[in-house]
Chain A
Amino acid sequence: MLLIGLILLIVLLALGVPVVWTFLGVAVFLVISLGYDPNFLLPYGYSQLNSTLLLAIPMFIIAGKLIERGGIGDVIVKWAEVLLGRIKGGLGVASVLASAVFGSISGSALAALSTIGSIMFGKLHKAGYPRGFAAALMANASILGLLIPPSGIMILYAWLANVSVLAAFLSTLIPGLILTAILSVVTLVYMRSESARRVRAGEPDFTQLNPVPFPQVAREFGRRTVTGIPALVLPVIILGGIYSGILTTVEAAAVAAIYTIPVGLWIYRQLKVRELKDVFVEGAATTGVVMIMAYSMMILSRIFTMERLPDAISSVLLSISENPIVLLLMINVFVIILGMLIDDVSGVLLVTPILLPVAIGIGVDPIHFAAIIGVNLGMANVTPPTAPLLYFSSQLGKAPVNEMMKPTLVMIGVGWIPTLALTTYVPELSLWLPEVLLGYSPM
């Protein structure tokens, strides 16, 4: 029956049934076919939603929306630009860097893409970057928004796995930095070879947009830092607040949201008072989407737990191999395939309750597993056919999806897969920071 349930899950998802109705539909099927009394399901989902930690997700969503409208992305972009404007391909690297820095105030890739992307695409196009490459780069770089703490996905993971959210945040930081470096190198290499090709073919080469003359870089950097202070304080409030222990995760997000309102209204003057209601309503609606999915998955996973699905998966996996390296490979391949079909939020909701007990059973630390899941499902956002960030970036960057495919595959091949392999097989990458900064002791 469980197997039929899992098949039904895949079929409904593939058909395009909204994830929330898919999860609930499978739950209904299992309840009826296994003869459970349905009375416990809704109270169970409700009791799980009733969590302060989970409240951090809407707070980060709303803070993200306010930040998006508040002119804070401009500050970060200008900052990255002055540093890298003179290098060939530097604007592309600046986009990566800006996404990474933006990641330290936002909890989602989508927020990073819509904020940084909407500023960068114009510039990248003007400088002569191929549209397909630019859109692919922004889509991939925006995922740094969820690998660099804070991260909505990691909040969900910590909630599901019942582990420290601070440790979970830190687990994906080093993988995120590795990816930042790889994406930067890919951009430089690609742009140089593309530039050489254009020169050979007699096509116009890239232009550099008002590069700051070298001797003035330091001064200009200083100037932009000063005007940027109100925005650049945000990572200090959020990450500083959380890791110094002054604020809890949810409080940090709420303080960031409140802080952004006057900054956007009166300092950068991009936010309008009459927009505030819209921002809150949009934020609450996005919240509703995530939370109802979380609620539905709780209901479904309760049945999975009662039917001991994780045990069944463990024993199937262990019958194939007992080697942890092979087992982790199998888990990763499974999540990659699942990730082609679904987005990161549905992915973490589905995978954590089912596979975390399996991972713990083979000796993988839950915080290490957080990083594996974070990187793997981060990649899921750009692996077709279900690749929300790819499609969104294609709209935002006015690039046809087929022109984005080749650069995306390159970034997956030389960026995501190696990062995932390193994260999986070098646990220190994810565990070192939690150990040093939080005194976390891995199992």
Chain B
Amino acid sequence: MKKQLHVAARALLAAQRWILFICCALVVIGLFAQVILRYVLGTTILGLNELILIPTIWMYFIGASYASAEGTHISADILQVYLRSNRAKVVVRTIVSTISLAVGLILSWWACLYIQHSLDRPGTTPVFGLPLIIVQVAVIVGFILMTFYTAVELYRTIAQLKSDKSATLPNSVANYKTEG
């Protein structure tokens, strides 16, 4: 069971890496193409900007959730730096993860409401008339994944708290990360 979970987690992160790579490459290429079209071919594609927007928003939200998995979101680690006892550090981390998880759950719920609202009032992009929902879905996917990784983090700190072998505290879910 545990092994299967590891495999699933690894597959999820690998998928996120591919999404990030593809979105990021599409955005860079799209912007570069815009310059080439303007100066080399003397033209523009009406609506190129709204096309670039799609991978952009996906990159933002999948990137944010990937950073949750890696534990690289910015925080003020004052207490982690200045607290002496390892146990106190783990306690603080448990509190932090609990608060983060609570906020994450509320935001995931709000994201559901948001998507429902968007489905009720379907909007489209101005030039190509693409449904906006294909971009907005990134918001809910991002929040659910961020919340999920926060829950994993909380699970780990609690396990840590119970066993209290603080010497080998894993830093984050990043341990699942595939190489390369």
A and B from one assembly? yes
A-side residues, CB < 8 A to B, are: 12-21, 24-25, 28, 38-39, 41-43, 46, 49-50, 52, 55, 58-59, 62, 246-247, 250-251, 254-255, 257-258, 274, 277-278, 280-281, 283-289, 291-293, 295, 341-343, 345-346, 385-386, 388, 391
Q: Nearest-CB distance from B178 to chain A (Å)?
A: 11
Cross-chain contact B79 with A288 (CB below 8 angstroms): no
CA distance A255 to B79 in the complex (A): 42
Cross-chain contact B76 with A280 (CB below 8 angstroms): no
Q: Nearest-CB distance from B160 to chain A (Å)?
A: 16
Q: Which of B123-168 contact A (CB under 8 A)?
A: 136, 139, 142, 146, 150
Cross-chain contact A25 with B103 (CB below 8 angstroms): yes
Check B17 for interface membership: any CB of A closer than 8 A.
Answer: yes
Cross-chain contact A292 with B142 (CB below 8 angstroms): yes
Chain B residue at minimum C-beta to C-beta distance from A23? B103
Bitwise interface map of B from 61 to 73 toward A, beta carbon under 8 Å scored 1, else 0:
1111111001011
Cross-chain contact A284 with B21 (CB below 8 angstroms): yes
* Residues of the B chain whose Cβ atoms lie less than 8 Å from the Cβ of A52: 49
CA distance A69 to B31 in the complex (A): 22
Chain A residue at minimum C-beta to C-beta distance from B150? A21
Question: Which of these, A17, A254, A255, A345, contacts B99 with CB under 8 Å?
Answer: A17
CA distance A24 to B118 in the complex (A): 21
10 interchain pairs, CB-CB under 8 A: A16-B77, A21-B73, A58-B59, A254-B35, A255-B31, A286-B67, A288-B66, A289-B67, A292-B142, A346-B74
Cross-chain contact A21 with B100 (CB below 8 angstroms): yes
* Residues of the A chain whose Cβ atoms lie less than 8 Å from the Cβ of B111: 42
Cross-chain contact B24 with A19 (CB below 8 angstroms): no
A59-B31, A255-B32 provided; 10 other pairs, C-beta below 8 A?
A14-B76, A16-B76, A21-B104, A46-B136, A52-B49, A258-B28, A277-B21, A280-B20, A284-B20, A287-B59
Chain A residue at minimum C-beta to C-beta distance from B95? A15
Are A291 and B114 CB-contacts (below 8 A) given A25-B99, A50-B53, A254-B31? no
Chain A residue at minimum C-beta to C-beta distance from B23? A284
Question: Which of these, B32, B49, B53, B106, contacts A28 with CB under 8 Å?
Answer: B106
Q: Nearest-CB distance from B25 to chain A (Å)?
A: 6
Are A58 and B103 CB-contacts (below 8 A) given A46-B136, A287-B59? no
Cross-chain contact B79 with A251 (CB below 8 angstroms): no
Q: Nearest-CB distance from A375 to chain B (Å)?
A: 21
Question: Which of these, B20, B53, B60, B104, contacts A281 with CB under 8 Å?
Answer: B20
Chain A residue at minimum C-beta to C-beta distance from B19? A284
B-side residues, CB < 8 A to A, are: 17, 20-21, 23-25, 27-28, 31-32, 34-35, 39, 49, 52-53, 56-57, 59-67, 70, 72-82, 92-93, 95-96, 99-100, 102-104, 106-107, 110-111, 113-114, 117-118, 136, 139, 142, 146, 150, 180
* Residues of the B chain whose Cβ atoms lie less than 8 Å from the Cβ of A18: 73-75, 96, 100
CA distance A52 to B31 in the complex (A): 10
Interface centre among B63, B107, B117 (most CB of A within 10 A): B63
Cross-chain contact A24 with B114 (CB below 8 angstroms): no
Chain A residue at minimum C-beta to C-beta distance from B66? A285
Is the contact region of chain A dominated by helix, strand, or loop, or is it mixed?
A: helix
* Residues of the A chain whose Cβ atoms lie less than 8 Å from the Cβ of B139: 42, 46
* Residues of the B chain whose Cβ atoms lie less than 8 Å from the Cβ of A38: 110, 113
CA distance A386 to B82 in the complex (A): 11
* Residues of the A chain whose Cβ atoms lie less than 8 Å from the Cβ of B59: 58, 284, 287-288
* Residues of the A chain whose Cβ atoms lie less than 8 Å from the Cβ of B72: 285-286, 289
Question: Which of these, B63, B65, B76, B99, contacts A21 with CB under 8 Å?
Answer: B99
Cross-chain contact B76 with A385 (CB below 8 angstroms): yes
Cross-chain contact B64 with A291 (CB below 8 angstroms): yes
Cross-chain contact A345 with B76 (CB below 8 angstroms): no
Are A283 and B64 CB-contacts (below 8 A) given A13-B76, A21-B104? no
Per CB-CB distance, the 5 closest pairs between chain A and chain B, nearest first, are A288-B63, A254-B31, A292-B64, A288-B64, A284-B20
CA distance A247 to B77 in the complex (A): 39
Cross-chain contact A42 with B110 (CB below 8 angstroms): yes
Question: Which of these, B57, B61, B66, B78, contacts A385 with CB under 8 Å?
Answer: B78
Cross-chain contact A49 with B60 (CB below 8 angstroms): yes
CA distance A380 to B86 in the complex (A): 28
CA distance A196 to B38 in the complex (A): 60
Cross-chain contact B60 with A295 (CB below 8 angstroms): yes
* Residues of the A chain whose Cβ atoms lie less than 8 Å from the Cβ of B110: 38, 41-42
Cross-chain contact A288 with B60 (CB below 8 angstroms): yes
Cross-chain contact A385 with B21 (CB below 8 angstroms): no
Cross-chain contact B31 with A250 (CB below 8 angstroms): yes
CA distance A21 to B146 in the complex (A): 10
Q: Nearest-CB distance from A171 to chain B (Å)?
A: 25
Q: Nearest-CB distance from A404 to chain B (Å)?
A: 14
CA distance A14 to B99 in the complex (A): 13
CA distance A38 to B65 in the complex (A): 22
Chain B residue at minimum C-beta to C-beta distance from A42? B114
Cross-chain contact A291 with B60 (CB below 8 angstroms): yes
* Residues of the B chain whose Cβ atoms lie less than 8 Å from the Cβ of A46: 57, 114, 136, 139
Q: Nearest-CB distance from B164 to chain A (Å)?
A: 20
Cross-chain contact B73 with A280 (CB below 8 angstroms): no
Cross-chain contact A291 with B78 (CB below 8 angstroms): no
Cross-chain contact A288 with B74 (CB below 8 angstroms): no
* Residues of the B chain whose Cβ atoms lie less than 8 Å from the Cβ of A283: 24
CA distance A286 to B165 in the complex (A): 32
* Residues of the B chain whose Cβ atoms lie less than 8 Å from the Cβ of A295: 60
